[in-house]
Amino acid sequence: MRKTPASRKAAARQQVFDALGTLKIEIPSWGFADTGTRFGKFYQDAAAIDLADKLADAGQVHRLTGCCPTVAVHVLWDFKPGEDPAAVAALAARNGVKIGSINPNLFQDQIYKHGSFANPDPAVRKAALAHTLHSVELGKKTGSRLLSLWLADGINYPGQDNIAARKERVAECLAAVHRKLGPDQLLLLEYKPFEPAFYATDVADWGMSCIHCKKAGKKARVLVDTGHHYTAQNIEQIVAWLLSENMLGGFHFNDRRYADDDLTLGSLDPYQVFRIFNEIHQHAHDNGGRPADIAYMIDQSHNDKPKVEATLQTVANAQELWAKAALVDRDALAHHQKNTAQIDAEELLKTAFFTDVRPLIADWRRANKLPPDPLAAHRASGYEQAAAKDRAARRKALGITQTAGGYA
């Protein structure tokens, strides 16, 4: 039956509604606290001081967007020594959210100067493994499914260490972690081409992460941080390969211009994000409509933008590009691909990408009893001003003063 403009419009609306209903985006606790670059920090009165503030901010984002039910936590930045994980989970629940992925910290302690899992000193590897196993147990108590592991390990100079030996040290530790995972837990191994190491990072690309994950066991998957690629790299091709191998665990979303800049997702290159989401929708289409079991997590911490506003903006960007990618006519695309009609195929993607889905997203939000414009609703709520007043007063009472080098 010929499609009429009205039926096409109705179909697009349903596609967008269905797509938005499946997208859940995890927000990072560290996105709400003051942060900086190696050149310094610019403090914000409304920035979160402690985990309670971070969970309150996350609750505000989820209340306004309806699609951010979980919060990624950083073990050393969010949990005081001996803190009760069950109490943290209850605090999250009181803010309408849940604790999501657990991020061990294997890069700040002085012992990690020459790496953690890859360190030539067995005592350092033992300490790193102990912290990571503690993080696994913590995740079992917070009800977290994902252990999100980033190794900053690497060497800065040729000859500094035996590259293959470092690979085996990492593999041994990953296998030990994998053995301790709970029945429903997954280990996500993040890769990054450089920084803080500048000659050879131990888990530098998707291939290294994939090999480590396959060796570690069936509950290990690759974590793709969109900022962790060289400028020319085709990220959506990596995503298609990992999906095809059932090795894609999920994403850390951000955008970049030069390196791991942690800029707002879609702020520099929205078409790249659309192409990544297009591969995910294509994979679901090719697998009987079953969406891949992957985690969509934001990994941004803005030095300049207001924290909650920046998170709301990121979530809205992700929803918009996800909805656009859902509009690609997969049957027509397959037809053009079969006939190597490359211009028609490309134009099909561009038609979806240039479709303004914002009115449909606003309709979806209204249908789900959410504000049609979360950012405007946040600004009208007075949340930011109240948080700034409360937190500035608490910093003063705590004697926390902002200095050039950090809080004193």
Residues that bind Mn ion (CB under 5 A): 225, 252, 260, 299
| Between 57 and 299, CB nearer to ligand AFD | 299
| Between 85 and 227, CB nearer to Mn ion | 227
**Cβ 73 to ligand AFD, closest distance in Å?**
11
| Between 252 and 307, CB nearer to Mn ion | 252
| Between 54 and 252, CB nearer to ligand AFD | 252
**Interacting partner of 34 out of ligand AFD, Mn ion, none (Cβ under 5 to 8 A depending on kind):** none
Q: How many residues does the chain have?
A: 408
Compute the Cα dihedral for 105, 259, 235, 360 and give only its sign.
positive
Distance of CA 307 to the CA centre of its chain: 16
| Between 260 and 320, CB nearer to ligand AFD | 260
**Cβ 220 to ligand AFD, closest distance in Å?**
16
| CA-CA-CA-CA dihedral for 252, 257, 260, 262, to nearest 10 | -50
**Cβ 265 to Mn ion, closest distance in Å?**
12
**Interacting partner of 26 out of Mn ion, ligand AFD, none (Cβ under 5 to 8 A depending on kind):** none
**Cβ 225 to ligand AFD, closest distance in Å?**
5
Determine the residue type at 3.
Answer: K
**Cβ 228 to ligand AFD, closest distance in Å?**
6
**Cβ 190 to ligand AFD, closest distance in Å?**
5
Q: What is the largest CA-CA distance in the chain?
A: 72
**Interacting partner of 322 out of Mn ion, ligand AFD, none (Cβ under 5 to 8 A depending on kind):** none
**Residues β-bridged to residue 201:** 154
**Interacting partner of 125 out of Mn ion, ligand AFD, none (Cβ under 5 to 8 A depending on kind):** none
Q: What are phi and psi of 262, to 5 degrees?
A: 50, 40
Residue 19 C-beta-side C-alpha neighbours within 13 Å: 27
Cβ-closest position to Mn ion: 252
| Between 153 and 260, CB nearer to Mn ion | 260
Element holding 298 (H helix, E strand): strand 295-298
**Cβ 251 to ligand AFD, closest distance in Å?**
11
How are beta strands 36-37 and 186-190 bridged, if at all?
unpaired
How are beta strands 154-155 and 200-201 bridged, if at all?
antiparallel
**Interacting partner of 103 out of Mn ion, ligand AFD, none (Cβ under 5 to 8 A depending on kind):** ligand AFD
Query: Which long-range contacts (C-beta less than 8 Å, at least 24 apart) are formed by 198-202?
Result: 198/154, 198/156, 199/154, 199/155, 199/156, 199/157, 199/158, 199/160, 200/154, 200/155, 200/163, 201/153, 201/154, 202/115, 202/117, 202/118, 202/151, 202/153, 202/154, 202/166, 202/167, 202/170
| Between 150 and 364, CB nearer to ligand AFD | 150
User: Where on the chain is the footprint of ligand AFD (CB under 6 A)?
Assistant: 103, 150, 190, 192, 225, 252, 260, 262, 299
Q: How far apart are the first and last CA of the chain?
A: 70
- Residues 365, 315: Cα–Cα separation, whole Å: 13
**Interacting partner of 384 out of ligand AFD, Mn ion, none (Cβ under 5 to 8 A depending on kind):** none
| Between 66 and 104, CB nearer to ligand AFD | 104
| Between 98 and 229, CB nearer to ligand AFD | 229
**Cβ 299 to ligand AFD, closest distance in Å?**
5
**Interacting partner of 161 out of Mn ion, ligand AFD, none (Cβ under 5 to 8 A depending on kind):** none
**Cβ 252 to Mn ion, closest distance in Å?**
3
Neighbours of 319 (CB within 10 A): 24
- What six digits make up the tokens of 74? 């950083």
